[in-house]
């Protein structure tokens, strides 16, 4: 039975939502346990290990109130899929928890669930269950279960001097999207809101790179922050070569010496893969990614430009700093009233 427009504008009902899920999700009809049984059951493939990842998207921090709910659900799953890709694993199932105010129209969680199921189905997985809770602010929490090969999990602690660095996709796409939001903050267009939630988990690339990589992680917090994380975890020096970096065209003309341009380029939200690969595996890695630098003995993360080295900025996305700044702005507004 399809929901009418009037029904979908009604406030959220947990039991009604469960009935809707059981009717609309394939896992609700074909899973080992039905939707509403408070648990899901998955049969693991022989010789694989479970790789688990959980992420949260919070309204006001990761998406805005006007963001299309289907795109919010899709993005919530895709951010977790990106980390699954960094372990070279293959997705099997998704759990989704929704935190929403009681007055939320029924349409909002339904559309979030549709987007999440579409993202899962696109990579051969299923949305198999989750949870709903009342909250003052909307949030979507996704958990992805994927199957990995324990021989090729590419932990970020395993980069070695002499490795070459590779990245998928482009650098700075997320920062360019956030810059567009800042320019239209009071009235962001639908295109801007959708672009902020546009994520392409590199699952095929992750499987290919994991076969040869020593270490790998995703660049959800930006390439610069990813380089610092890799340096700290593996106790090595990370050197990015500016003339090799595939800068996203929407950033404009590359200018790494310009602080504002550099801030956007390394802002975060790229959701690409950064891999440290031994030179013997470089030919395989080049099928999936672009060579952008190298690993050396030492510490720190640097950008090499025309023979000079610049320390990479700690410019990645920091949601706690964002919320702290939001509180400071509210406090200042209150002081002037």
Render each residue's pLDDT in the chain as its tens digit; 337 residues.
345 555 556 666 676 666 766 666 666 556 667 766 678 888 889 999 999 999 999 998 899 888 999 999 999 999 999 999 999 999 999 999 999 999 999 999 999 999 999 999 999 999 998 899 999 999 999 999 999 999 999 999 999 999 999 999 999 999 998 888 888 777 788 888 888 899 999 999 999 999 999 999 999 999 999 999 999 999 999 999 999 999 999 998 999 989 899 999 999 999 999 999 999 999 999 999 999 999 999 999 999 999 899 999 886 555 545 454 455 544 544 444 4
pLDDT at 192: 85
- For 292, residues 6+ apart whose C-beta sits below 8 A from its C-beta are 165, 166, 167, 171, 240, 241, 244, 245, 246
pLDDT at 334: 46
Alpha helices in the chain (DSSP H): 5-9, 14-24, 26-30, 69-85, 107-122, 173-183, 190-196, 203-210, 223-234, 259-265, 282-285, 319-336
Strand 301-305 relative to strand 139-148, pairing: unpaired
Distance between CA 59 and CA 66 in Å, rounded?
Answer: 10
- Identify the structural domains of the chain with CATH numbers, from first to last: 16-151 (3.30.1330.10), 154-319 (3.90.650.10)
pLDDT at 293: 98
CB atoms within 10 A of CB 12: 20
- For 57, residues 6+ apart whose C-beta sits below 8 A from its C-beta are 63, 72, 75, 76, 79, 139, 140, 141, 142
Distance between CA 15 and CA 259 in Å, rounded?
Answer: 52
pLDDT at 155: 97
- For 317, residues 6+ apart whose C-beta sits below 8 A from its C-beta are 174, 220, 221, 222, 225, 267, 268, 269
User: CA dist 220 to 171, 233, 286, Å?
Assistant: 11, 17, 21
The H or E element containing residue 302 is strand 301-305
The dihedral over CA atoms of 197, 203, 205, 211, expressed in degrees to the nearest 10, equals 150
Distance between CA 92 and CA 42 in Å, rounded?
Answer: 8
Distance between CA 68 and CA 331 in Å, rounded?
Answer: 30
Q: Which long-range contacts (CB under 8 A, 24 or more apart) does 47-50 make?
A: 47/149, 48/147, 48/148, 48/149, 49/147, 49/148, 49/149, 49/150, 49/153, 50/145, 50/146, 50/147, 50/148
pLDDT at 335: 44
pLDDT at 122: 96
Distance between CA 262 and CA 260 in Å, rounded?
Answer: 5
pLDDT at 307: 87
DSSP reduced 3-state for 46: coil
Place of tokens 């009342």: 134
CB-count exposure of residue 310 (10 Å: 0-12, 13-18, 19+)? middle
């Amino acid at each position: 039975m399809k929901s009418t427009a009037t029904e979908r504008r009604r406030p959220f009902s947990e039991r009604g939502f469960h009935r809707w899920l059981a009717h609309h999700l394939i896992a609700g009809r074909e899973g080992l346990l039905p939707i509403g049984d408070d648990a899901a059951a998955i049969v693991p493939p022989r010789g694989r290990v479970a790789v688990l990842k959980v992420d949260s998207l919070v309204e006001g921090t990761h998406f805005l109130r006007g963001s299309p709910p289907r795109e919010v659900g899709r993005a919530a799953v895709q951010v977790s899929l990106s980390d699954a890709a960094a372990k070279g694993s293959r997705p099997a199932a998704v759990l989704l928890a929704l935190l929403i105010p009681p007055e939320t129209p029924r349409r909002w969680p339904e559309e979030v669930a549709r987007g999440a199921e579409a993202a899962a189905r696109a990579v051969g997985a299923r949305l198999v269950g989750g949870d709903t809770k009342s909250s003052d602010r909307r949030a979507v929490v996704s958990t992805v279960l994927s199957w990995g090969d324990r021989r090729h999990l590419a932990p970020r602690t395993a980069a070695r001097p002499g490795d070459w660095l590779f990245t998928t996709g482009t650098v700075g796409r997320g920062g360019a999207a956030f810059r567009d939001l800042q320019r239209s903050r009071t009235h962001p267009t639908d295109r801007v809101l959708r672009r902020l939630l546009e994520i392409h988990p590199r699952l095929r690339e992750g499987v290919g790179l994991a076969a040869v990589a020593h270490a790998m992680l995703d660049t959800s917090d930006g390439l610069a922050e990813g380089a610092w994380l890799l340096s700290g975890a593996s106790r090595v020096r990370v050197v990015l070569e500016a003339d090799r970096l595939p800068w996203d065209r929407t950033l404009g003309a590359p200018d790494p010496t310009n602080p504002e341009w550099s801030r956007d380029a390394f802002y975060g939200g790229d959701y690409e893969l950064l891999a440290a690969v031994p030179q013997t595996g470089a030919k395989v890695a080049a099928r999936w990614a672009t060579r952008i630098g190298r690993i050396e003995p030492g510490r720190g993360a640097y950008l090499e430009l025309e023979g000079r080295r610049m320390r990479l900025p700690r410019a990645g996305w920091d949601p706690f700093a964002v919320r702290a700044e939001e509180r400071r702005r509210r406090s200042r507004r209150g002081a002037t009233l």
